[in-house]
Amino acid sequence: MPNNHPKISVVMCCYNGEKFLREAVNSILSQTFDDFEFLIVQDGSTDLTPLILQEYAQKDGRIRIISNAKNIGLTKSLNKALPIARGDYVARMDDDDIALPQRFAKQVDFLEKNPKIALVGCLGFIINERGEVIGEKKLALHYQEIKKRLLFNNQFIHSSLMIRKSVLDKEGFYNEKFKKAQDYELVLRLAGKYPVANLPEKLLKWRFLPSSLSWQNKEQQKYAILARWWAITKYGYPKIRGLYYIIIRYIWLYVPKWVKMRRYQN
């Protein structure tokens, strides 16, 4: 029987994700901490994603599928799931990443022991299309260092986040003005008011694909610049530093892709 008050609500959005979907779902169902519901928004997929999700939902009562008749995008899809999430914590997941088995156990333990922390992420491995480890995601761990670096670039892997539902209920869900960089706006907003952290363990495999390179998408970068602007005008971040970073990032929009790729690889 489904648990009406699970500790965690896992929220994932899928759009034409058949290639890696089973790996992602299996990694959640294989968590050592199993007191969760799994809310999956099927965002108007035209491939086998709906059939794959239905197959899993028939086997595991923790899975609830929300189906969009047409594709409405990540931000709005996530915001369809969050109001019906029943858990104390909301854990994000993407349909091409892999959560390592101890992820939920370690994040719940951390949040239970640190009640002032609003959200926690973790470090992660970078994997390629074949699932081979090709690098690591190195991020700031502690609040002061995270907040110091956050204006320059996002210090969280979106699919690693676990957030207190009470904080989301109070501060709002994803901002639907942000079609892209919605995770960046959210963490900037929350970190402006609450302590946040990353666990030092690598508890996620983040899949690196050409589409994962946000700097290749000018729309993504423009929304990220807007998030920085909101951070310094609405959320209390340092204005001079923020303006400096905004200028740097605006210039970066027009740097040739081959230069960006070389810097990323180094």
Residue 14 lies in a domain: yes
Residue with tokens 């899928």: 14
Distance CA 31, CA 99 (A): 8
Q: Which of 22-36, 170-184, 236-250 shows the lowest mean pLDDT across its residues?
A: 236-250
Nearest to 8 by CA among 116, 115, 111: 111
pLDDT of the residue at 64: 98
Q: How far apart, in whole angstroms, are the C-alpha atoms of residue 23 and residue 259?
A: 33
pLDDT value at 264 more than 70: no
pLDDT at 215 over 50: no
The average confidence (pLDDT) of the chain is 93
| Cα(166)–Cα(9) distance, integer angstroms | 12
Domain that holds residue 43: 8-212
pLDDT in tens, 87-119: 999 999 999 999 999 999 999 999 999 999 999
Whether 190 maps to a domain, the answer reads yes
- The per-residue pLDDT for 224 is 94
Residue 131 lies in a domain: yes
Q: What is the mean pLDDT of residues 139-157?
A: 96
Distances (CA, A) of 178 to 97, 174, 185, 238: 22, 8, 8, 22
Q: Tell me what percent of the residues of the chain surpass a pLDDT of 70.
A: 93
Q: Please check whether residue 219 lies inside any domain of the structure.
A: no
Q: How far apart are CA 213 and CA 34, in angstroms?
A: 32
pLDDT of amino acid 253: 79
**Residue 242 belongs to some domain of the structure:** no
Can you give the pLDDT at residue 115? 98
Give the model's pLDDT for residue 162: 99
Say if residue 141 is exposed, middle or buried (CB neighbours under 10 Å; 0-12, 13-18, 19+).
middle
In a domain, 253, yes or no: no
What does the pLDDT average to over 240-255? 86
Residue 252 lies in a domain: no
Span 65-80, pLDDT tens digits:
999 999 999 999 999 9
188: CATH: 3.90.550.10
What mean pLDDT is predicted for residues 48-72?
98
Count of structural domains, the chain = 1
Residues 68, 54, 3, 105, Cα dihedral to 10°: -90
Within a domain: 181: yes
